[in-house]
Amino acid sequence: MPNWLIRPSIQALTVFVILCALLIGIAWLFKPVIFALLVSFTLYALLEPVGNQMTGRGISPASSASIILCLLVCISAISTLIGFPKLLDGVMAIQQKLTVLKSTLHEWLEKLQFLLERSGIQFDKSGFNQYLQDSNTELNLDVIIQGSNILLDISGTLLLVPFIVFFLLRDYKSSRNRLLSMLPNEYFEMGWSIYYRVARQLQGYIKGVIIQTSILGGVATTGFFLAGFESAIMLGVFAGLFGIIPYLGPILALMPPIMMAMSIQPFDIYYVWAAVTVIGVAYVFDNLVVIPTIIANAVDLHPFVVIVGVIIFGSMFGIVGTILALPIMATSKILLVGLYQGFSQRASVIRHYAETS
Amino acid sequence: MDNPKSPLWHNFFRKKPQLDEHIADLWLKTPLFNKISRKHCRILVPEMHIRQYQDGEIVFHQGEMGIGAALILSGHVDITAHHKNLARLEAGDFFGEVALVVDEPRTANAIAVGPTELIFFLRQNLDELTDRYPVDGARLMRNLARILATRLRLSNEAIGLQESIETPTLRVPDSKESNNA
């Protein structure tokens, strides 16, 4: 075997590529339920300490999983009953506002054309008008079809998630132990060491992100409510959710309130400034207070790597890609560094023995 | 009773309470689990990791990162360092406990003598014990500190003895000896 093939970096890279290929294969195999699996693992990461506490008190894993499942179903049902009608009202309000927004944009275009023509610049707004008209005719049918598809997906996911969480709480540890017991003796400690680091980091990240999102959403909702926005809760929820996307989140979070502000009749610049201020204050608070105290240690990546990664994952997998970019990159880093350190140590130990004996 | 020679008909999902009880008994006899609740130890056992080793197989190398201590269920383990055999351990003995405290390289080699079965108690298991049962976690940490302090004292004594043999004239007499003189 050539010498370069047994270098720790090559060995680490080979194992890393094989692991990535395996994970991509598994993700492809479970594609129809991948969203449900991601939600279930997120919930498992949050509920696992509760399960640990219960098993620690002598309750069997199956019983503790059943109790948690019942609680989960009850909480989901109550929050759906209370929150879903409000969210639906918000969506309906936005739908109505969209037509107003289009007429506002139309008026602005006319003003812009007038101003440009007075300055001697030719401007043809017919293309944009046509686009607005097309989207208007397609809007109702598309919204109904897309809305019903999303609702069906969400219902399917909601039905699957509690069952997957139940089995994860009951069997995840034993299945994991069985799987990792297949590691050869010489790589047993390295495998577990990397697994624990990845698990700890992902668990910390998920918990941190949920707390961060809740705080961000809460601050934004309060701000929108005080500024006098309609659907303040829904705008706050959007602001919180976009907070998951690193660096690009504030720009995306700004879009719904700006659209809402532009659709208010008669047009008032106060609402545009209010939207910018609320999002600005919420994200400054998030970046200065929440992130450093809650999720600063969860990921240790250079900002440039994060931005490039988010853009690449976003262009490949859309909004889901931007959300998953950070945990995937952080996990990859731990895997690569852990494998490289493990193989390097082994190589140096073997070299030392070869020299001394 | 399970027949280990017929894996085809072996029920993978059947629990092994007798083995778990035996492992808990062995751990509770070690100074590491001194005064730890039997019930809590028994709950932890299924989360520990059993490994089988062939004769002469390296359990771990000196200089490699370790993440836990191991208890010998059957067989023997030789502990060596710098080409010297430091100890031969047997069933019921444990080793590698330094890795439970620090993320540092192993301080000695461990080599299986004959077919050997070990059970590993990893740092993660210790963290779980501390999270679930803080009192027992604190007890185990105190036991661990005691074991490491004893090891340190013995090492110092061994070094002192070695130095006194190599350079007897340089030995500084302690206060008792000087008073007697």
Where residue B172 falls among pLDDT bands split at 50, 70, 90? very low
Please give the single-letter amino acid code of residue A281.
V
Residue A198 Cα, gap to closest chain B Cα (Å):
13
Which among B61, B80, B128, B130 is the top mutation candidate for probing chain A, defined by the most A β-carbons within 10 Å of its own β-carbon? B61
Per-residue pLDDT, A96: 73
pLDDT score at A189? 87
Nearest by Cα to A181 from A172, A192, A170? A192
The closest CB to that of A192, out of B105, B122, B133, belongs to: B122
- In angstroms, the Cα distances linking A21 to A14, A187, A188, B142 are 11, 20, 21, 45
3-state DSSP helix/strand/coil % of chain A, to nearest 5: 90, 0, 10
Please indicate whether, in this complex, the C-beta atoms of B131 and A189 are within 8 angstroms of each other. Answer: no
**In this predicted structure, what is the pLDDT of residue B177?**
47
3-class DSSP string for chain B: CCCCCCCCCCCCCCCCHHHHHHHHHHHHHCHHHCCCCHHHHHHHHHHCEEEEECCCCEEECCCCECCEEEEEEEEEEEEEECCEEEEEECCCCEECHHHHCCCCECCCEEEEEEEEEEEEEEHHHHHHHHHHCHHHHHHHHHHHHHHHHHHHHHHHHHHHHHHHHHCHHHCCCCHHHHHHC
B155–A contact, CB cutoff 8 A? no
Where is pLDDT greater, at B165 or B34? B34
- Provide CB contacts within 8 A for A140, sequence distance 6+: none
ipTM given for this complex = 0.74
B10: contact with A, CB 8 A cutoff: no
pLDDT in tens, B84-96: 888 899 999 999 9
Chain B residues within an 8 Å CB radius of A192: 49, 67-68, 122, 124
- The mean pLDDT of B38-54, rounded to a whole number, is 89
| Residue of A177, A186, A352 lying closest to B63 (CB–CB) | A352
Cα-Cα-Cα-Cα dihedral sign, residues B96, A52, B29, B13: negative
Beta-carbon contacts of residue A228 (< 8 Å; ≥ 6 apart) = A271, A274
What is the rounded (10 degree) CA torsion for A18, A20, A21, A26? Answer: 130
CA quadruple A306, A311, A314, A319: dihedral sign = positive
- pLDDT at residue A5, rounded to an integer: 65
- Look at A345 and B47 and tell me if their CB atoms are within 8 Å: no
Pick from A49, A56, A180: CB nearest B43 = A56
Residue A326: which of A224, A243, A222, A236 has the closest Cα?
Answer: A243
Considering only residues B15 and A64, tell me which one the structure prediction assigns the higher pLDDT. Answer: A64
CA dihedral B131, B133, B136, B137 (to 10 degrees): 0
Q: How far apart are CA B78 and CA B56, in angstroms?
A: 9
- pLDDT score, position B170: 47
Give the model's pLDDT for residue A223.
Answer: 92
What is the distance between the alpha carbons of residues A141 and A292, in angstroms, rounded to a whole number? 45
**In chain A, what residues touch B119 (CB-CB under 8 Å)?**
none
CB B91 within 8 A of CB B29: no
Retrieve residue A117's tokens: 């023509």
User: Which of A55, A188, A196 lies nearest to residue B51, judging by beta carbons?
Assistant: A188
Note whether B26 and B73 are within 8 A (CB).
yes
What is the model's pLDDT at position B175? 46
CB atoms within 10 A of CB A258: 15
pLDDT digits (tens, 9 = 90+) for A148-166: 566 666 666 677 888 888 8
Query: What is the rounded CA–CA span in Å between residue A295 and residue A284?
Result: 15
Chain A positions touching chain B (beta carbons under 8 Å): 49, 52-53, 55-56, 58, 173-174, 177-178, 180-181, 185-186, 188-190, 192-193, 196, 341-342, 345-346, 348-349, 352-353, 356-357
**Cα A327 to Cα B28: distance, rounded to the nearest angstrom:** 40
Name B16's Cβ contacts closer than 8 Å, sequence gap at least 6. B2
Closest CA to A247 of A201, A199, A313: A313
Confidence of residue B8 (pLDDT cuts 50, 70, 90): very low
Q: Locate A210 and state its tokens.
A: 């949920």
Per-residue pLDDT band for B5 (boundaries 50, 70, 90) equals: very low
pLDDT digits (tens, 9 = 90+) for A25-39: 998 898 888 888 888
Nearest residue in A to B39, CA atom: A58
Task: Tell me the residue type at A172.
Answer: Y
User: Are B101 and B79 within 8 A, CB to CB?
Assistant: no
- Which positions in chain A touch B64 (Cβ < 8 Å)? 189, 345-346, 349
Work out how many CB contacts closer than 8 A connect A with B.
Answer: 65
User: How many Å lie between the alpha carbon of A350 and the closest alpha carbon of chain B?
Assistant: 9
Mean per-residue pLDDT, B66-76: 92
Distances (CA, A) of A181 to A12, A165, A175, A204, B39: 20, 23, 10, 25, 25
Which comes out higher in pLDDT, residue A339 or B176? A339
| Greater model confidence, B10 or A77 | A77
Shortest distance, CA A46 to any CA of chain B (angstroms): 15
One-character DSSP codes across A335-355: HHHHHHHHHHHHHHHHHHHHH
Residue B16 has pLDDT above 80, yes or no: no
Cβ within 8 Å, pair A190-B123? no
Beta carbons of A174 and B46 less than 8 Å apart: yes
Identify all chain B residues contacting A193, using CB atoms and an 8 Å cutoff: 65, 67
Q: Are B53 and B119 in contact (CB under 8 A)?
A: no
Residues of chain A whose pLDDT is less than 50? none
Question: What does the mean pLDDT of chain B come to?
Answer: 81
Nearest Cα residue to A279 out of A217, A322, A233: A217
- Look over chain A and give the mean of its residue pLDDT values, rounded to a whole number: 80
pLDDT of B4? 46
- Read off the tokens for B78: 């030789």
Report how far residue B73's alpha carbon sits from residue A346's, in angstroms, rounded to the nearest whole number.
26
Residue A1's pLDDT is 59
- Tell me if B128 and A188 make a contact (CB, 8 A cut-off): no
- Residue B44: list chain A partners with CB under 8 A: none
- State the pairing for strand pair B49-53/B58-60: unpaired
pLDDT at A357: 65
CA distances from A153 to A99, A147, A159 (A): 27, 10, 10
pLDDT band, very low/low/confident/very high, at B7 (cuts 50, 70, 90): very low
Q: Which residues pair with B68 in a beta bridge?
A: B122
- CA B153 to each of CA B108, B140, B147, B149, B156: distance values in angstroms, whole numbers, following the listed order: 17, 20, 10, 6, 5
